[in-house]
Amino acid sequence: MKPFGEAGHLLRVALVYALGVALFLIVRAILVPHSFGEFGYYRGRAIAQVAALPMHFAGHQACRSCHADVVALKRSGVHAGLHCEACHGPQAAHVANPAAVRPVLPRVATLCIRCHAYNPARPHSFPQIVVKQHDPGGLACNTCHQPHSPLQGFGKKT
Amino acid sequence: MTMPAVQGYMYPNERELAWSILIVIYPYITGLVAGAFILASLERVFHVEAVKPTYRLALLTALAFLLVAPLPLQLHLGHPERSIEMYLTPHRTSAMAMFGFVYLWYLMAVLVLEIWLDFRADIVRAALAERGWRRWFYRVLTLGSYNISPRALAIDERAGYIVTVVGIPSALLLHGYVGFIFGSVKANPWWSSPLMPVVFIFSAMVSGIAAVLLIYMFTSWRRRCPIDMRCLDSIARYLLYTFLIDFSLEMLDLVHRIYEADESFRSLDFMLHTKLYLSQVVIQIYIGTLVPLALLALTQIVSLGVRHRKRIYALAASLALVGIFAMRWNVVIGGQLFSKSFLGYTTYKIGFVTREGLLPAIVLMLLPIPILWVLVKLLPPWPADTAAGASAAS
Protein backbone atom coordinates (compact mmCIF):
# COMPACT_ATOMS: atom_id res chain seq x y z
CA MET A 1 0.00 0.00 0.00
CA LYS A 2 1.35 3.40 -0.97
CA PRO A 3 1.60 5.95 1.84
CA PHE A 4 -0.90 8.76 1.24
CA GLY A 5 -2.32 6.70 -1.64
CA GLU A 6 -2.47 8.55 -4.94
CA ALA A 7 -1.17 11.79 -3.38
CA GLY A 8 2.18 10.25 -2.33
CA HIS A 9 4.11 12.44 -4.77
CA LEU A 10 2.73 15.54 -3.02
CA LEU A 11 4.14 14.18 0.24
CA ARG A 12 7.53 13.80 -1.47
CA VAL A 13 7.54 17.39 -2.74
CA ALA A 14 6.45 18.60 0.71
CA LEU A 15 9.38 16.68 2.19
CA VAL A 16 11.81 18.29 -0.28
CA TYR A 17 10.54 21.73 0.75
CA ALA A 18 10.69 20.81 4.43
CA LEU A 19 14.29 19.62 3.95
CA GLY A 20 15.09 22.92 2.25
CA VAL A 21 13.65 24.87 5.19
CA ALA A 22 15.51 22.65 7.69
CA LEU A 23 18.78 23.10 5.77
CA PHE A 24 18.23 26.86 5.76
CA LEU A 25 17.63 26.89 9.52
CA ILE A 26 20.80 24.87 10.12
CA VAL A 27 22.87 27.16 7.88
CA ARG A 28 21.33 30.16 9.62
CA ALA A 29 22.16 28.79 13.06
CA ILE A 30 25.78 28.27 11.95
CA LEU A 31 26.31 31.56 10.11
CA VAL A 32 24.45 34.11 12.21
CA PRO A 33 26.59 35.21 15.17
CA HIS A 34 25.04 34.31 18.53
CA SER A 35 25.15 37.87 19.76
CA PHE A 36 23.23 39.21 16.73
CA GLY A 37 20.17 41.16 17.87
CA GLU A 38 21.33 41.34 21.50
CA PHE A 39 21.04 45.14 21.57
CA GLY A 40 19.67 45.92 18.11
CA TYR A 41 20.06 45.03 14.45
CA TYR A 42 23.76 44.22 14.73
CA ARG A 43 26.21 41.84 16.36
CA GLY A 44 26.21 42.51 20.12
CA ARG A 45 29.85 41.50 20.57
CA ALA A 46 30.88 44.17 18.06
CA ILE A 47 30.58 46.77 20.84
CA ALA A 48 33.23 45.08 23.00
CA GLN A 49 35.47 44.54 19.98
CA VAL A 50 35.26 48.17 18.93
CA ALA A 51 35.78 49.33 22.51
CA ALA A 52 38.99 47.26 22.64
CA LEU A 53 40.48 49.02 19.60
CA PRO A 54 43.37 51.43 20.36
CA MET A 55 42.37 55.09 20.82
CA HIS A 56 43.66 57.54 18.22
CA PHE A 57 42.02 60.80 19.32
CA ALA A 58 43.07 62.37 22.61
CA GLY A 59 40.20 64.88 22.87
CA HIS A 60 40.59 68.68 23.03
CA GLN A 61 40.88 68.74 26.82
CA ALA A 62 44.29 67.07 26.50
CA CYS A 63 45.65 69.87 24.26
CA ARG A 64 44.94 72.58 26.81
CA SER A 65 47.36 71.25 29.41
CA CYS A 66 50.37 72.14 27.25
CA HIS A 67 49.02 74.56 24.60
CA ALA A 68 46.84 76.84 26.74
CA ASP A 69 47.87 79.98 24.78
CA VAL A 70 46.80 78.51 21.42
CA VAL A 71 43.56 77.18 22.87
CA ALA A 72 42.81 80.63 24.34
CA LEU A 73 43.52 82.33 20.98
CA LYS A 74 41.29 79.85 19.18
CA ARG A 75 38.50 80.39 21.70
CA SER A 76 38.52 84.12 20.94
CA GLY A 77 38.00 83.66 17.20
CA VAL A 78 35.49 82.18 14.77
CA HIS A 79 37.15 78.75 14.97
CA ALA A 80 36.23 78.49 18.67
CA GLY A 81 33.85 75.62 17.96
CA LEU A 82 36.46 73.54 16.15
CA HIS A 83 38.41 71.00 18.14
CA CYS A 84 42.19 70.92 17.65
CA GLU A 85 42.24 67.43 16.17
CA ALA A 86 39.75 68.43 13.46
CA CYS A 87 42.69 70.10 11.67
CA HIS A 88 45.74 68.54 13.33
CA GLY A 89 44.50 64.98 13.12
CA PRO A 90 44.35 62.33 15.87
CA GLN A 91 47.00 63.02 18.50
CA ALA A 92 46.59 60.35 21.18
CA ALA A 93 50.12 59.06 20.48
CA HIS A 94 51.52 62.60 20.85
CA VAL A 95 49.69 63.12 24.16
CA ALA A 96 51.01 59.81 25.45
CA ASN A 97 54.57 60.63 24.47
CA PRO A 98 54.96 64.33 23.53
CA ALA A 99 58.71 64.22 23.03
CA ALA A 100 58.89 61.18 20.81
CA VAL A 101 55.79 61.72 18.67
CA ARG A 102 55.80 65.14 17.03
CA PRO A 103 52.63 66.17 15.19
CA VAL A 104 53.03 67.05 11.51
CA LEU A 105 51.79 70.53 10.66
CA PRO A 106 48.73 70.46 8.40
CA ARG A 107 49.11 71.56 4.76
CA VAL A 108 47.04 74.72 4.76
CA ALA A 109 46.80 74.79 0.94
CA THR A 110 44.54 71.76 1.00
CA LEU A 111 43.20 71.88 4.54
CA CYS A 112 41.40 75.25 4.55
CA ILE A 113 39.57 74.81 1.26
CA ARG A 114 38.01 71.60 2.51
CA CYS A 115 35.57 73.81 4.38
CA HIS A 116 35.97 77.21 2.70
CA ALA A 117 35.99 76.46 -1.04
CA TYR A 118 32.72 77.63 -2.58
CA ASN A 119 30.01 75.00 -2.57
CA PRO A 120 26.43 75.92 -3.43
CA ALA A 121 25.15 73.48 -0.82
CA ARG A 122 26.71 75.49 2.02
CA PRO A 123 24.76 78.26 3.74
CA HIS A 124 25.40 81.74 2.26
CA SER A 125 26.46 83.04 5.67
CA PHE A 126 29.33 80.57 5.84
CA PRO A 127 32.64 82.12 4.70
CA GLN A 128 33.49 80.63 1.31
CA ILE A 129 35.93 81.61 -1.42
CA VAL A 130 36.43 80.82 -5.07
CA VAL A 131 40.08 79.87 -4.69
CA LYS A 132 41.27 81.16 -8.07
CA GLN A 133 39.66 84.56 -7.49
CA HIS A 134 40.55 84.92 -3.78
CA ASP A 135 44.14 83.88 -4.16
CA PRO A 136 45.33 84.12 -7.78
CA GLY A 137 48.97 84.13 -6.64
CA GLY A 138 48.80 80.76 -4.91
CA LEU A 139 49.77 82.08 -1.47
CA ALA A 140 49.30 79.80 1.51
CA CYS A 141 46.22 80.80 3.53
CA ASN A 142 48.24 81.41 6.70
CA THR A 143 50.30 84.09 4.93
CA CYS A 144 47.40 86.46 5.68
CA HIS A 145 45.16 84.51 8.10
CA GLN A 146 46.01 83.28 11.55
CA PRO A 147 44.53 79.77 11.41
CA HIS A 148 43.60 79.71 15.09
CA SER A 149 41.79 83.05 14.76
CA PRO A 150 41.30 83.60 11.01
CA LEU A 151 39.89 87.14 11.02
CA GLN A 152 42.47 88.55 13.41
CA GLY A 153 43.85 91.74 11.84
CA PHE A 154 40.90 92.14 9.42
CA GLY A 155 38.94 94.56 11.63
CA LYS A 156 36.14 92.04 12.32
CA LYS A 157 35.39 89.60 15.04
CA THR A 158 38.47 87.49 15.01
CA MET B 1 30.09 78.00 -10.65
CA THR B 2 28.79 75.81 -13.50
CA MET B 3 28.79 72.05 -13.51
CA PRO B 4 28.64 70.00 -16.67
CA ALA B 5 25.31 68.22 -17.32
CA VAL B 6 23.57 70.24 -14.59
CA GLN B 7 21.12 73.05 -15.17
CA GLY B 8 20.06 75.38 -12.40
CA TYR B 9 20.43 74.41 -8.76
CA MET B 10 21.09 70.83 -7.71
CA TYR B 11 22.02 69.65 -4.26
CA PRO B 12 25.41 67.91 -4.42
CA ASN B 13 23.96 64.46 -3.78
CA GLU B 14 21.47 64.84 -6.63
CA ARG B 15 23.97 65.42 -9.42
CA GLU B 16 24.85 61.77 -9.96
CA LEU B 17 21.98 59.33 -10.37
CA ALA B 18 22.04 56.63 -7.70
CA TRP B 19 19.77 54.26 -9.63
CA SER B 20 20.97 53.35 -13.10
CA ILE B 21 19.59 51.50 -16.13
CA LEU B 22 19.90 48.25 -14.15
CA ILE B 23 17.18 49.52 -11.84
CA VAL B 24 15.13 50.24 -14.97
CA ILE B 25 15.35 46.67 -16.22
CA TYR B 26 14.68 45.14 -12.80
CA PRO B 27 11.02 46.25 -12.63
CA TYR B 28 10.72 45.59 -16.36
CA ILE B 29 11.78 41.96 -15.91
CA THR B 30 9.65 41.37 -12.79
CA GLY B 31 6.73 42.92 -14.70
CA LEU B 32 7.19 40.40 -17.49
CA VAL B 33 7.20 37.60 -14.90
CA ALA B 34 4.02 38.79 -13.19
CA GLY B 35 2.25 39.48 -16.48
CA ALA B 36 3.17 36.10 -17.98
CA PHE B 37 1.94 34.31 -14.85
CA ILE B 38 -1.35 36.19 -14.79
CA LEU B 39 -1.90 35.25 -18.45
CA ALA B 40 -1.26 31.62 -17.52
CA SER B 41 -3.74 31.88 -14.64
CA LEU B 42 -6.47 32.98 -17.04
CA GLU B 43 -6.68 29.44 -18.30
CA ARG B 44 -6.34 27.64 -15.00
CA VAL B 45 -8.41 29.76 -12.65
CA PHE B 46 -10.72 31.71 -14.92
CA HIS B 47 -11.15 28.85 -17.40
CA VAL B 48 -10.39 30.91 -20.51
CA GLU B 49 -9.92 27.85 -22.70
CA ALA B 50 -8.88 29.89 -25.72
CA VAL B 51 -5.49 30.80 -24.21
CA LYS B 52 -4.67 27.19 -23.28
CA PRO B 53 -1.98 26.79 -26.00
CA THR B 54 0.10 29.46 -24.24
CA TYR B 55 -0.47 28.27 -20.66
CA ARG B 56 2.69 26.23 -20.23
CA LEU B 57 4.77 28.54 -22.40
CA ALA B 58 3.68 31.46 -20.21
CA LEU B 59 4.76 29.58 -17.07
CA LEU B 60 8.20 28.79 -18.51
CA THR B 61 8.55 32.38 -19.74
CA ALA B 62 7.76 33.61 -16.24
CA LEU B 63 10.38 31.25 -14.77
CA ALA B 64 13.06 32.24 -17.32
CA PHE B 65 12.59 35.93 -16.53
CA LEU B 66 12.25 35.34 -12.78
CA LEU B 67 15.63 33.59 -12.67
CA VAL B 68 17.21 36.73 -14.18
CA ALA B 69 15.20 39.24 -12.09
CA PRO B 70 17.65 39.51 -9.15
CA LEU B 71 20.75 39.79 -11.35
CA PRO B 72 20.39 43.53 -12.13
CA LEU B 73 20.11 44.16 -8.40
CA GLN B 74 23.18 42.03 -7.69
CA LEU B 75 25.16 43.92 -10.32
CA HIS B 76 23.93 47.29 -9.09
CA LEU B 77 24.65 46.64 -5.42
CA GLY B 78 27.89 44.70 -5.86
CA HIS B 79 28.99 42.08 -3.33
CA PRO B 80 26.57 39.34 -4.41
CA GLU B 81 28.04 37.13 -1.69
CA ARG B 82 26.27 39.32 0.85
CA SER B 83 22.80 38.83 -0.61
CA ILE B 84 22.30 35.73 1.56
CA GLU B 85 22.34 38.09 4.56
CA MET B 86 18.82 39.28 3.85
CA TYR B 87 17.61 35.75 4.46
CA LEU B 88 19.84 35.10 7.46
CA THR B 89 19.08 38.32 9.31
CA PRO B 90 15.84 39.64 7.82
CA HIS B 91 15.10 43.32 8.30
CA ARG B 92 11.36 43.45 8.59
CA THR B 93 10.99 47.23 8.57
CA SER B 94 12.67 47.67 5.17
CA ALA B 95 10.59 46.95 2.07
CA MET B 96 13.75 46.55 -0.02
CA ALA B 97 15.29 44.09 2.44
CA MET B 98 12.15 41.95 2.29
CA PHE B 99 12.57 41.49 -1.48
CA GLY B 100 14.39 38.21 -0.91
CA PHE B 101 11.36 36.67 0.76
CA VAL B 102 8.91 38.01 -1.84
CA TYR B 103 11.16 36.62 -4.57
CA LEU B 104 11.73 33.25 -2.89
CA TRP B 105 8.04 32.81 -2.15
CA TYR B 106 7.08 33.52 -5.73
CA LEU B 107 9.86 31.36 -7.18
CA MET B 108 9.56 28.29 -4.95
CA ALA B 109 6.03 28.32 -3.53
CA VAL B 110 4.32 29.38 -6.73
CA LEU B 111 6.18 29.09 -10.01
CA VAL B 112 8.44 26.06 -9.54
CA LEU B 113 5.69 24.16 -7.73
CA GLU B 114 3.10 24.92 -10.39
CA ILE B 115 5.46 23.99 -13.22
CA TRP B 116 6.38 20.75 -11.47
CA LEU B 117 2.73 19.82 -10.91
CA ASP B 118 1.77 20.68 -14.47
CA PHE B 119 4.71 18.91 -16.14
CA ARG B 120 4.85 15.94 -13.76
CA ALA B 121 3.23 13.47 -16.14
CA ASP B 122 5.65 14.52 -18.92
CA ILE B 123 8.58 14.30 -16.51
CA VAL B 124 7.63 10.74 -15.49
CA ARG B 125 7.22 9.66 -19.12
CA ALA B 126 10.58 11.24 -20.02
CA ALA B 127 12.26 9.55 -17.03
CA LEU B 128 11.06 6.19 -18.37
CA ALA B 129 11.81 6.88 -22.04
CA GLU B 130 15.02 8.95 -22.07
CA ARG B 131 18.59 7.66 -21.90
CA GLY B 132 21.88 8.98 -20.46
CA TRP B 133 22.04 12.18 -18.39
CA ARG B 134 18.57 13.23 -19.45
CA ARG B 135 17.16 10.10 -17.84
CA TRP B 136 18.88 10.97 -14.54
CA PHE B 137 17.76 14.57 -14.80
CA TYR B 138 14.09 13.57 -15.21
CA ARG B 139 14.41 10.84 -12.56
CA VAL B 140 15.55 13.46 -10.04
CA LEU B 141 12.63 15.68 -11.06
CA THR B 142 10.13 12.86 -10.45
CA LEU B 143 11.27 12.77 -6.79
CA GLY B 144 10.98 9.02 -7.05
CA SER B 145 7.25 8.96 -7.74
CA TYR B 146 6.17 7.50 -11.06
CA ASN B 147 2.48 7.50 -10.32
CA ILE B 148 0.64 9.17 -13.19
CA SER B 149 -2.67 7.38 -12.79
CA PRO B 150 -5.76 9.40 -13.71
CA ARG B 151 -6.51 9.81 -10.00
CA ALA B 152 -2.97 11.09 -9.27
CA LEU B 153 -3.15 13.51 -12.18
CA ALA B 154 -6.54 14.75 -10.98
CA ILE B 155 -4.92 15.45 -7.59
CA ASP B 156 -2.14 17.34 -9.42
CA GLU B 157 -4.75 19.35 -11.28
CA ARG B 158 -6.49 20.25 -8.04
CA ALA B 159 -3.20 21.12 -6.27
CA GLY B 160 -2.12 23.16 -9.32
CA TYR B 161 -5.38 25.07 -9.16
CA ILE B 162 -4.77 25.95 -5.51
CA VAL B 163 -1.18 27.00 -6.26
CA THR B 164 -2.43 29.25 -9.09
CA VAL B 165 -5.09 30.79 -6.87
CA VAL B 166 -2.33 31.55 -4.33
CA GLY B 167 -0.08 32.59 -7.20
CA ILE B 168 -2.29 35.39 -8.52
CA PRO B 169 -2.05 37.56 -5.38
CA SER B 170 1.62 36.49 -5.17
CA ALA B 171 2.25 37.78 -8.71
CA LEU B 172 0.45 40.99 -7.81
CA LEU B 173 2.53 41.17 -4.63
CA LEU B 174 5.78 40.64 -6.55
CA HIS B 175 5.18 43.53 -8.88
CA GLY B 176 2.99 45.64 -6.63
CA TYR B 177 5.90 45.49 -4.21
CA VAL B 178 8.22 46.97 -6.86
CA GLY B 179 5.71 49.78 -7.41
CA PHE B 180 5.45 50.22 -3.65
CA ILE B 181 9.24 50.74 -3.41
CA PHE B 182 8.88 53.78 -5.69
CA GLY B 183 5.44 54.91 -4.55
CA SER B 184 6.51 55.04 -0.90
CA VAL B 185 9.43 57.45 -1.45
CA LYS B 186 7.64 60.43 0.04
CA ALA B 187 10.53 62.82 -0.66
CA ASN B 188 10.16 62.33 -4.42
CA PRO B 189 6.98 63.81 -5.91
CA TRP B 190 7.57 61.99 -9.23
CA TRP B 191 7.30 58.65 -7.43
CA SER B 192 5.27 59.25 -4.31
CA SER B 193 1.80 58.08 -5.22
CA PRO B 194 -0.43 55.31 -3.85
CA LEU B 195 -1.40 54.64 -7.46
CA MET B 196 2.14 53.54 -8.26
CA PRO B 197 1.78 49.85 -7.21
CA VAL B 198 -1.50 49.56 -9.14
CA VAL B 199 -0.02 51.18 -12.25
CA PHE B 200 2.96 48.84 -11.98
CA ILE B 201 0.70 45.79 -11.73
CA PHE B 202 -1.34 46.67 -14.81
CA SER B 203 1.70 47.72 -16.83
CA ALA B 204 3.25 44.39 -15.78
CA MET B 205 0.24 42.54 -17.13
CA VAL B 206 0.49 44.47 -20.41
CA SER B 207 4.18 43.69 -20.85
CA GLY B 208 3.83 40.04 -19.79
CA ILE B 209 0.89 39.36 -22.08
CA ALA B 210 2.64 41.14 -24.98
CA ALA B 211 5.83 39.13 -24.39
CA VAL B 212 4.01 35.78 -24.29
CA LEU B 213 2.05 36.71 -27.41
CA LEU B 214 5.27 37.44 -29.30
CA ILE B 215 7.05 34.34 -27.95
CA TYR B 216 4.06 32.19 -28.90
CA MET B 217 4.02 33.62 -32.43
CA PHE B 218 7.79 33.21 -32.79
CA THR B 219 7.89 29.64 -31.46
CA SER B 220 4.95 28.61 -33.64
CA TRP B 221 6.74 30.02 -36.67
CA ARG B 222 9.99 28.28 -35.70
CA ARG B 223 8.21 24.96 -35.12
CA ARG B 224 6.28 25.41 -38.38
CA CYS B 225 3.03 24.94 -36.50
CA PRO B 226 -0.09 26.86 -37.39
CA ILE B 227 -0.91 29.59 -34.90
CA ASP B 228 -4.16 28.98 -33.02
CA MET B 229 -5.91 32.19 -34.07
CA ARG B 230 -8.65 31.76 -31.46
CA CYS B 231 -5.90 31.79 -28.85
CA LEU B 232 -4.06 34.72 -30.44
CA ASP B 233 -7.27 36.77 -30.76
CA SER B 234 -8.06 36.12 -27.10
CA ILE B 235 -4.60 37.12 -25.93
CA ALA B 236 -4.77 40.27 -28.06
CA ARG B 237 -8.18 41.07 -26.59
CA TYR B 238 -6.84 40.69 -23.02
CA LEU B 239 -3.85 42.80 -24.01
CA LEU B 240 -6.23 45.53 -25.15
CA TYR B 241 -8.31 45.38 -21.96
CA THR B 242 -5.34 45.49 -19.58
CA PHE B 243 -3.69 48.18 -21.70
CA LEU B 244 -6.84 50.32 -21.50
CA ILE B 245 -6.93 49.98 -17.70
CA ASP B 246 -3.20 50.70 -17.47
CA PHE B 247 -3.48 53.77 -19.70
CA SER B 248 -6.55 55.03 -17.79
CA LEU B 249 -4.71 54.70 -14.48
CA GLU B 250 -1.68 56.54 -15.82
CA MET B 251 -3.88 59.30 -17.21
CA LEU B 252 -5.74 59.45 -13.88
CA ASP B 253 -2.41 59.97 -12.16
CA LEU B 254 -1.48 62.66 -14.70
CA VAL B 255 -4.80 64.50 -14.45
CA HIS B 256 -4.60 64.34 -10.68
CA ARG B 257 -1.13 65.88 -10.72
CA ILE B 258 -2.18 68.61 -13.17
CA TYR B 259 -5.31 69.51 -11.21
CA GLU B 260 -3.58 69.32 -7.84
CA ALA B 261 -0.62 71.37 -9.19
CA ASP B 262 1.35 71.17 -5.95
CA GLU B 263 4.73 72.84 -5.41
CA SER B 264 6.52 70.25 -7.57
CA PHE B 265 4.23 70.63 -10.58
CA ARG B 266 6.05 73.38 -12.49
CA SER B 267 9.35 71.59 -12.15
CA LEU B 268 7.96 68.21 -13.24
CA ASP B 269 5.98 69.82 -16.06
CA PHE B 270 9.12 71.54 -17.32
CA MET B 271 10.98 68.21 -17.21
CA LEU B 272 8.19 66.51 -19.16
CA HIS B 273 8.50 69.12 -21.90
CA THR B 274 12.29 69.03 -22.07
CA LYS B 275 14.41 66.14 -20.77
CA LEU B 276 11.65 63.53 -20.77
CA TYR B 277 9.79 64.68 -23.87
CA LEU B 278 11.24 62.01 -26.15
CA SER B 279 11.11 59.08 -23.72
CA GLN B 280 7.80 59.91 -22.04
CA VAL B 281 5.63 61.80 -24.50
CA VAL B 282 6.89 60.43 -27.83
CA ILE B 283 8.00 56.88 -26.98
CA GLN B 284 5.88 55.95 -23.94
CA ILE B 285 2.60 57.73 -24.66
CA TYR B 286 2.43 58.07 -28.45
CA ILE B 287 4.45 55.18 -29.88
CA GLY B 288 4.27 52.79 -26.91
CA THR B 289 0.65 53.29 -25.84
CA LEU B 290 -1.66 55.18 -28.21
CA VAL B 291 -0.45 53.48 -31.40
CA PRO B 292 -0.72 49.88 -30.04
CA LEU B 293 -4.05 50.73 -28.41
CA ALA B 294 -5.34 52.04 -31.74
CA LEU B 295 -4.00 48.97 -33.56
CA LEU B 296 -5.57 46.54 -31.09
CA ALA B 297 -8.85 48.47 -31.12
CA LEU B 298 -8.81 48.35 -34.91
CA THR B 299 -8.79 44.55 -34.83
CA GLN B 300 -11.87 44.63 -32.61
CA ILE B 301 -13.77 47.08 -34.80
CA VAL B 302 -12.81 46.03 -38.33
CA SER B 303 -12.98 42.45 -39.58
CA LEU B 304 -9.46 41.69 -40.79
CA GLY B 305 -7.91 38.61 -42.34
CA VAL B 306 -5.64 36.25 -40.39
CA ARG B 307 -2.46 37.56 -42.00
CA HIS B 308 -3.27 41.18 -41.18
CA ARG B 309 -4.33 40.35 -37.65
CA LYS B 310 -1.08 38.49 -37.01
CA ARG B 311 0.99 41.41 -38.25
CA ILE B 312 -1.02 43.93 -36.26
CA TYR B 313 -0.78 41.85 -33.07
CA ALA B 314 2.99 41.43 -33.49
CA LEU B 315 3.46 45.14 -34.12
CA ALA B 316 1.16 46.21 -31.27
CA ALA B 317 2.82 43.78 -28.81
CA SER B 318 6.31 44.94 -29.81
CA LEU B 319 5.32 48.59 -29.39
CA ALA B 320 3.66 47.79 -26.05
CA LEU B 321 6.94 46.24 -24.83
CA VAL B 322 8.83 49.34 -25.95
CA GLY B 323 6.21 51.56 -24.28
CA ILE B 324 6.35 49.71 -20.95
CA PHE B 325 10.15 49.79 -21.01
CA ALA B 326 9.94 53.55 -21.60
CA MET B 327 7.52 53.78 -18.67
CA ARG B 328 10.05 52.05 -16.37
CA TRP B 329 12.79 54.33 -17.70
CA ASN B 330 10.73 57.45 -17.11
CA VAL B 331 9.81 56.39 -13.58
CA VAL B 332 13.31 55.35 -12.48
CA ILE B 333 15.53 57.78 -14.40
CA GLY B 334 12.96 60.59 -14.63
CA GLY B 335 12.50 60.56 -10.88
CA GLN B 336 16.18 61.36 -10.38
CA LEU B 337 16.64 64.11 -12.97
CA PHE B 338 15.17 67.00 -10.98
CA SER B 339 16.29 68.64 -7.77
CA LYS B 340 14.34 68.48 -4.54
CA SER B 341 14.72 72.28 -4.63
CA PHE B 342 12.64 72.19 -7.87
CA LEU B 343 15.16 74.67 -9.29
CA GLY B 344 17.53 72.42 -11.19
CA TYR B 345 17.95 69.37 -13.41
CA THR B 346 20.73 66.90 -13.97
CA THR B 347 21.53 64.51 -16.83
CA TYR B 348 21.84 60.73 -16.85
CA LYS B 349 25.03 59.72 -18.58
CA ILE B 350 25.04 56.01 -19.25
CA GLY B 351 28.27 54.07 -19.57
CA PHE B 352 28.74 51.23 -22.03
CA VAL B 353 31.17 48.57 -20.85
CA THR B 354 30.86 49.44 -17.16
CA ARG B 355 29.29 47.54 -14.29
CA GLU B 356 26.04 49.46 -14.66
CA GLY B 357 26.42 50.31 -18.32
CA LEU B 358 24.42 49.62 -21.45
CA LEU B 359 26.21 46.38 -22.34
CA PRO B 360 25.44 44.50 -19.08
CA ALA B 361 21.87 45.83 -19.31
CA ILE B 362 21.50 44.41 -22.84
CA VAL B 363 23.05 41.10 -21.78
CA LEU B 364 20.68 40.84 -18.80
CA MET B 365 17.68 41.65 -20.99
CA LEU B 366 18.67 38.95 -23.48
CA LEU B 367 19.68 36.36 -20.88
CA PRO B 368 16.10 35.08 -20.26
CA ILE B 369 15.88 34.03 -23.93
CA PRO B 370 18.60 31.30 -23.79
CA ILE B 371 17.26 30.27 -20.36
CA LEU B 372 13.78 29.92 -21.87
CA TRP B 373 15.27 27.97 -24.77
CA VAL B 374 16.86 25.50 -22.33
CA LEU B 375 13.64 25.23 -20.31
CA VAL B 376 11.61 24.60 -23.46
CA LYS B 377 14.09 21.90 -24.51
CA LEU B 378 13.89 20.20 -21.12
CA LEU B 379 10.17 20.68 -20.55
CA PRO B 380 8.46 21.03 -23.95
CA PRO B 381 5.35 23.12 -23.34
CA TRP B 382 3.58 22.13 -26.53
CA PRO B 383 0.54 19.85 -26.58
CA ALA B 384 1.47 16.34 -27.76
CA ASP B 385 -0.40 16.63 -31.09
CA THR B 386 1.38 19.85 -32.16
CA ALA B 387 4.75 18.46 -31.04
CA ALA B 388 4.14 15.45 -33.22
CA GLY B 389 3.11 17.75 -36.03
CA ALA B 390 6.29 19.75 -35.59
CA SER B 391 8.50 16.67 -35.69
CA ALA B 392 6.64 15.43 -38.74
CA ALA B 393 7.08 18.81 -40.42
CA SER B 394 10.81 18.89 -39.63
| Higher per-residue pLDDT: B253 or A152 | B253
- Burial of A99-110, coded b for 16+ CB within 10 Å and e otherwise, reads eeeeeeeeebee
What range does the domain containing B27 cover? 18-244+351-389
| Residue A3 predicted with pLDDT over 70 | no
Q: Output the pLDDT for position B173.
A: 87
C-beta atoms of A9 and B88 within 8 A: no
What whole-number percentage of chain A has pLDDT above 90?
Answer: 66
What average pLDDT score do residues A122-128 get?
A: 89
The 10s digit of each residue's pLDDT in B109-139 is 999 999 999 999 999 999 999 999 999 999 9
ipTM value for the complex? 0.84
Question: In the prediction, which pLDDT does B388 show?
Answer: 40
Residue B186's CATH number: 1.20.1630
Residue A152: pLDDT band with limits 50, 70, 90: confident
Inter-chain CB proximity A118 and B1 less than 8 Å: yes
Q: In this structure, is residue B319 part of a structural domain?
A: no
Q: Do A9 and B145 touch (CB under 8 A)?
A: yes
pLDDT, residue B58, reads 94
What pLDDT does residue B2 have?
A: 56
Residue B241, classified by CB atoms within 10 Å of its CB into exposed (0-12), middle (13-18) or buried (19+), is middle
Which of the four pLDDT bands, split at 50, 70 and 90, describes residue A154?
confident
pLDDT of residue B393: 36
Which residues of chain B are under the pLDDT cut of 70? Answer: 1-4, 384-394
- Give the CA distances from residue B337 to residues B193, B344, B354, in Å, rounded to whole numbers and listed in that order: 18, 9, 21
CA–CA gap between residue A56 and residue A64 (Å, rounded):
17
pLDDT the model gives residue B361: 97
pLDDT of residue B297: 97
Distance of CA B292 to the CA centre of its chain: 18
The pLDDT score that the predictor gives to residue A2 is 60
Q: pLDDT for B146-166, tens place per residue?
A: 999 999 999 999 999 999 999
Instruction: In whole angstroms, give the CA distance from residue B38 to residue B164.
Output: 9
3-class SS string, A122-153: CCCCCCCECHHHHCCCCCCHHHCCECCECCCC
B292 within domain boundaries? no
Quote the pLDDT of residue B391.
Answer: 41
Give the count of domains, chain B: 1
pLDDT digits (tens, 9 = 90+) for A28-82: 999 999 999 999 989 999 999 999 999 999 998 999 999 999 999 999 899 999 9
How far apart are the C-alpha atoms of A6 and B275, rounded to whole Å? 62
- What's residue B24's pLDDT? 96
Q: Does B113 touch chain A (CB under 8 A)?
A: yes
In a domain, B300, yes or no: no
Contact B127, B112 (CB under 8 A): no
Q: Determine the pLDDT at residue B355.
A: 92
For testing the chain A interface, which of B86, B138, B143 should be mutated: the one with the most A CBs within 10 Å?
B143
Q: How far does Cα B237 stand from its chain's mean position?
A: 19
Residue B209 lies in a domain: yes
Contact B331, B268 (CB under 8 A): no
Radius of gyration of chain B (CA): 22
- CB-CB neighbors (< 8 A) of A16 in chain B: 143
Contacts of B116 in chain A (CB under 8 A): 13
What is the distance between the alpha carbons of residues B196 and B184, in angstroms, rounded to a whole number? 9
Residue A74: which H helix or E strand, with range?
helix A68-76
Whether B218 has its CB under 8 Å from any CB of chain A: the answer is no
pLDDT at B47: 84
Asked whether B279 and B330 are in contact (CB, 8 A), the reply is yes
The reply to whether B289 falls in a domain is no
The amino acid that residue B92 corresponds to is: R
- Interface membership of B217 toward A (CB under 8 Å): no
SS (H, E, C) chain B: CCCCCCEECCCHHHCCCCCCHHHHHHHHHHHHHHHHHHHHHHHHCCCCHHHHHHHHHHHHHHHHHHHHCHHHHHHHHCCHHHCCHHHHCCCCCCCCCCHHHHHHHHHHHHHHHHHHHHHHHHHHHHHHHCCHHHHHHHHHHHCCCCCCCHHHHHHHHHHHHHHHHHHHHHHHHHHHHHHHHHHCCCCCCCCCCCCHHHHHHHHHHHHHHHHHHHHHHHHHHHCCCCCCHHHHHHHHHHHHHHHHHHHHHHHHHHHHHHHHCCCCHHHHHHHHHCCCHHHHHHHHHHHHHHHHHHHHHHHHHCCCCHHHHHHHHHHHHHHHHHHHHHHHHHHHCHHHCECCCCCEECCCCCCCCCCCCHHHHHHHHHCHHHHHHHHHHHCCCCCHHHHHHHHHHC
B152 CA to chain A: closest CA distance, Å?
Answer: 5
Q: How confident is the model at residue A108 (pLDDT cuts 50, 70, 90)?
A: confident
